[in-house]
Amino acid sequence: MKIYTKAGDGGETSLIGGARVSKAEPRVAAYGDVDELNAVLGLAHSHVHSWPQLRERLEAIQRVLFGIGAELATAADGRELRGRATEEDVVALEHSIDGMEAELPDLTSFILPGGGPAGASLHVARTVCRRAERAVVALGARDVVLRYLNRLSDWLFVAARYVNTRERHPEIPW
């Protein structure tokens, strides 16, 4: 099978279910932002060598994001999708945040994003997540999807702090 179809050469793409829409549609932008977030998380995963639990969590997050992207790319036809974000996914992020925060010093000021390659890539993922969240809010997606993306940006911030602290990269106050 060829990777190129030429079907999008005129500026349209197909949604799951076959409907054709402009590539400039807000829905396409939103699932594109989620896809970019997933790719950036793949980059972060490649830097998180020493933290198997974080690597596993990143993979689980990527799977949920694939489901969110599929949901956003599906024409509104009532179809049930595999991999949809659930309340349990939101709770899993919250538990993970709580576990990491228990090992971190209290935050007393804003910090500059950065640190080592792992922490810095998690900070980049956080900003991409915020953009994806804004695009998904504009669509009026399911509440659990909005909560998941909001919590994910929090998780990414804490994960960046966690990795940077463990790797002894000092936080730089603003």
**For residue 73, what are its two tokens?**
């790319």
d(CA 143, CA 110): 29
Top-tier CATH class for 13-166: mainly alpha
Q: State which amino acid sits at residue 117.
A: P
pLDDT at 66 exceeding the cut of 60: yes
d(CA 130, CA 140): 15
pLDDT at 171 exceeding the cut of 90: yes
The domain segmentation of the chain, as residue ranges, is 13-166
d(CA 29, CA 35): 10
**For residue 36, what are its two tokens?**
């970019």
Q: Which residues pair with 16 in a beta bridge?
A: 74
Would you mind telling me the total number of residues written for the chain in this entry?
174
pLDDT band at 76 (very low <50, low <70, confident <90, very high): low
Residues near 138 by beta carbon (within 8 Å), at least 6 away in sequence = 26, 30
pLDDT digits (tens, 9 = 90+) for 5-50: 887 788 888 888 888 888 889 999 999 999 999 999 999 999 998 8
- Tracing tokens 């602290």 back to the chain, one arrives at 165
Higher-confidence position of 12 and 116? 116
What single-letter DSSP state applies at residue 122? H
Question: Are 73 and 15 contacting, i.e. CB atoms less than 8 angstroms apart?
Answer: yes
